[in-house]
Amino acid sequence: MKRINVAIAGFGGVGRAIAGLLLARRERYCSVFGVDIRLVAVCGSRAGNASRDGLEPHDFDALIDSLSGVDFILEARPDVLIEAGPSNFRTGAPGHAYIGAALDAGIHAIVISKGALVRDGQGVRERAARSGSLLKVSGATAAALPTIDLLEYNLRGCEFLHIEGILNATTNFLLTAMMEDGLSFAEALRKAQAGGFAERDPRNDTEGWDTACKLLILANFGLDANLTMDDLAVEGIQGITKAQIRTWKADGAVPKLVGTITREGSLIQASVGVKTLPASDVFAQVMGKNKAIRVRTDTMGEIVAIGGGAEPMATASAALKDLEHILIATR
Amino acid sequence: MKRINVAIAGFGGVGRAIAGLLLARRERYCSVFGVDIRLVAVCGSRAGNASRDGLEPHDFDALIDSLSGVDFILEARPDVLIEAGPSNFRTGAPGHAYIGAALDAGIHAIVISKGALVRDGQGVRERAARSGSLLKVSGATAAALPTIDLLEYNLRGCEFLHIEGILNATTNFLLTAMMEDGLSFAEALRKAQAGGFAERDPRNDTEGWDTACKLLILANFGLDANLTMDDLAVEGIQGITKAQIRTWKADGAVPKLVGTITREGSLIQASVGVKTLPASDVFAQVMGKNKAIRVRTDTMGEIVAIGGGAEPMATASAALKDLEHILIATR
């Protein structure tokens, strides 16, 4: 049976969920694809573990200090790297080093952290093209919600005229709480933080940067645009007042943080901001931690997808969807 | 440049829309896939046209009597057959003869008419497997709305726990008219027929059979079930009274004709019937000629897709999406 070696760089909640799900699906990979999948290395920023024969779940709790870094991963000779580390879209670190080295070495890459894709999307795409490696980014573009898939697969052949997305679960949760419970932004944020739905420093979400990152990757990878963060107008939800909420409620309007991509001829533009929608708009029904995308096309009309799933499993499952697409493309 | 010959059997509104769109996209096929696509034969039930060098749009208005039938199509030596004829799910004719002969001859088949897939889905799949031909059915399962795609591609790797669909545009249009304009079923039907949104004999739509056909194909092709029409409980909208409509409106409930697939272990069951949904349910927002599907999975949570597009272009575009997937899989 053909053997496929997988390595995971970044071993927090998402990395661990991927590892667990990958091993749980070994029988599926064997029966559906006829491949013997082995998880040959995992690492966080300081520690990791590796095995030529393949790691087992108990190995995840026995990480060894200093087994980490690009060389550690390359030495395990994976066929596929899944990169699930922390993300910094201003520097691209630490993912960029792992992804770049893997692609250069002919290793297929499944990327979850957005940093490298935002900072140097063009560069990593070129490195993949040069070595013939596949580069998959579902996990970086709203994970279980089909976004880049929709453009590349379901709507294949269409021209994309307009794309809108509710792409960040935290801000959608906050806006839902502000509208339904009449909370201020600060009160809603404290509630979300207490429930584990917002980070201690929530600005990456609340100021619109996470939405902007996903939108940028979608435009550059899905529409072949070449945008940088400086090209995007980005507005968050942190400035919304209780008075605005009262007015919107009185008007029957529903606020959502929406990322928008417009296309006129070859000009592709993107922006992030609060939109107020009528209650009859399907986007107004996207509540809590759900996400959504709406794509207007020339020949297939308008398609909306809504979803999300519980994290970290949903993102893990999106990464392993990418893995199956790689297995199909390379068999 | 690699040449790909396409033939179209069934040359009504959908077949003609496919032919026009295919020729309009020749440059795209050339630049994206490096293939020279030629439309070598088209036929309706009584007349057709063929050209070894490829038909041009003006040839569509110069169909020649008696150029029709399975032998006529096979003689044109297509690589891909697009079958867009009328559909009879009780006999499978006339599509079954075209599709079966094409698959046996190693020709890839893109199927739009549901008859053969409902009547003998297992048979055509086996014939495709035997010859190594690809068999694509997006056009038969709600066309521009991603349904089978969703299961096979976007949610790949997941287990499917529950599937619901608003799969028939005509009944959704009728129910919307009955609820919004307070029309009886008969009044709504006359309005739809006058607007060209319902057929003269509308029972295939209104009695739920069209929904049942799509659901059956989705279960058998997307979930590897082996259901026949006799396995489905099928109920339509023709019996809905004005009194029911008034009650639903008073209760804030929204009726939809919903096809449902449930799965418990290896037992897959399917049924079609009217469901009344709370206004907050996203399915309640699927209005007019739109369609929708909702899939509950083990690891990606719940995904909803809503769409439709204007016919016949949307179905034509779905068939040519299938064509591009064939071009990708065979390059």
Find the distance separating the first CA and the last CA of chain A, reported in whole Å. Answer: 12
How many Å apart are CA B42 and CA B16, to the nearest integer? 9
User: Closest Cα of chain B to A149: distance in Å?
Assistant: 7
The predicted structure's pLDDT at residue A89: 87
Mean pLDDT of B113-142: 96
A15-18 contacts at long range (C-beta below 8 A, 24 or more positions apart): A15/A42, A15/A44, A15/A82, A15/A84, A15/A85, A16/A60, A16/A312, A17/A312, A17/A313, A17/A315, A17/A316, A18/A82, A18/A84, A18/A316, A18/A319, A18/A320
Among B156, B158, B307, beta carbon nearest to A304: B307
Taking a C-beta distance cutoff of 8 angstroms, is the pair A135, A125 a contact? yes
pLDDT of residue B112 exceeding 90, the answer is yes
Which residues in chain B are closer than 8 Å to A299, comparing Cβ atoms? 21, 309, 313-314, 316-317
Mean pLDDT of A10-30: 98
Which of these, B18, B15, B39, B36, lies nearest to B27 by C-alpha position? B36
8 Å CB contact of A149 and B145: no
Mean pLDDT of A14-35: 98
**pTM exceeds 0.90:** yes
Residue in chain B closest to A25 (alpha carbons) equals B157
Query: Is some CB atom of chain A closer than 8 A to the CB atom of B316?
Result: yes
The predicted structure's pLDDT at residue A87: 86
Describe chain A by its helix, strand, coil percentages, rounded to 5.
45, 25, 35
**Per-residue pLDDT tens digits for B315-324:** 999 999 999 9
**Per-residue pLDDT tens digits for A206-245:** 999 999 999 999 999 999 999 999 999 999 999 999 999 9
Among B145, B157, B313, beta carbon nearest to A320: B157
Size of interface A-B (CB pairs under 8 A): 124
Residue in chain A closest to B33 (alpha carbons) equals A157
pLDDT of residue B56 exceeding 90, the answer is yes
pLDDT of residue A299 exceeding 90, the answer is yes
Query: Is some CB atom of chain A closer than 8 A to the CB atom of B161?
Result: no
Chain A interface mutation, best of B317, B324, B325, B327, highest count of A Cβ atoms under 10 Å = B317
pLDDT of residue B197 exceeding 90, the answer is no
pLDDT above 70 covers a percentage of chain A that reads: 100
User: Closest Cα of chain B to A328: distance in Å?
Assistant: 9
Tell me the backbone φ, ψ of residue B240, rounded to 5 degrees.
-70, 130
Which residue is it, tokens 């008034």? B246
Q: Which residues pair with A297 in a beta bridge?
A: A160
Q: Rounded mean pLDDT of chain A?
A: 96
If you ran DSSP here, which 8-state letter would residue B284 be given? G
**Per-residue pLDDT tens digits for A37-86:** 999 999 999 999 999 999 999 999 999 999 999 999 999 999 999 999 99
8 Å CB contact of B154 and A155: no
Among A145, A300, A302, beta carbon nearest to B317: A300
Query: Is some CB atom of chain B closer than 8 A to the CB atom of A105?
Result: no
pLDDT of residue A288 exceeding 90, the answer is no
Among B145, B156, B309, beta carbon nearest to A325: B156
Where does the pLDDT of residue B288 fall: very low under 50, low under 70, confident under 90, or very high at 90 and above?
Answer: confident
Q: Which residues contact B267 (CB under 8 A, 6 or more apart)?
A: none
pLDDT of residue A36 exceeding 90, the answer is yes
How many Å apart are CA B176 and CA B256, to the nearest integer? 9
How many Å apart are CA B11 and CA B86, to the nearest integer? 9
The predicted structure's pLDDT at residue B265: 87
Measured at the alpha carbon of residue B118, what is the angle toward residues B115 and B123, in degrees to the nearest 5?
A: 105
Q: Which residues contact A296 (CB under 8 A, 6 or more apart)?
A: A160, A161, A162, A163, A302
Mean pLDDT of B53-78: 97
pLDDT of residue A325 exceeding 90, the answer is yes
How many Å apart are CA A44 and CA A55, to the nearest integer? 15
pLDDT of residue B87 exceeding 90, the answer is no
Identity of residue B138: S
pLDDT of residue A278 exceeding 90, the answer is yes
**Per-residue pLDDT tens digits for B21-39:** 999 999 999 999 999 999 9
Residue in chain A closest to B150 (alpha carbons) equals A154
Which residues in chain A are closer than 8 Å to B300, comparing Cβ atoms? 144, 307, 309, 314, 317-318
* A56 class by beta-carbon count within 10 Å (0-12 exposed, 13-18 middle, 19+ buried): exposed
Mean pLDDT of B167-178: 94
Query: Is some CB atom of chain A closer than 8 A to the CB atom of B223?
Result: no
Q: Rounded mean pLDDT of chain B?
A: 96
8 Å CB contact of B321 and A156: yes
Domains of chain B: 2-144+312-329 (3.40.50.720), 148-307 (3.30.360.10)
8 Å CB contact of A308 and B316: no
pLDDT of residue B124 exceeding 90, the answer is yes
Q: Where are the alpha helices (DSSP H) in chain A?
A: 13-24, 26-28, 70-75, 95-104, 115-131, 148-149, 169-181, 185-194, 203-206, 209-217, 242-251, 313-329
The predicted structure's pLDDT at residue A265: 87
Complex ipTM > 0.85: yes
Residue in chain A closest to B29 (alpha carbons) equals A157
Chain B interface mutation, best of A166, A304, A320, A331, highest count of B Cβ atoms under 10 Å = A304
**Per-residue pLDDT tens digits for B210-255:** 999 999 999 999 999 999 999 999 999 999 999 999 999 999 999 9
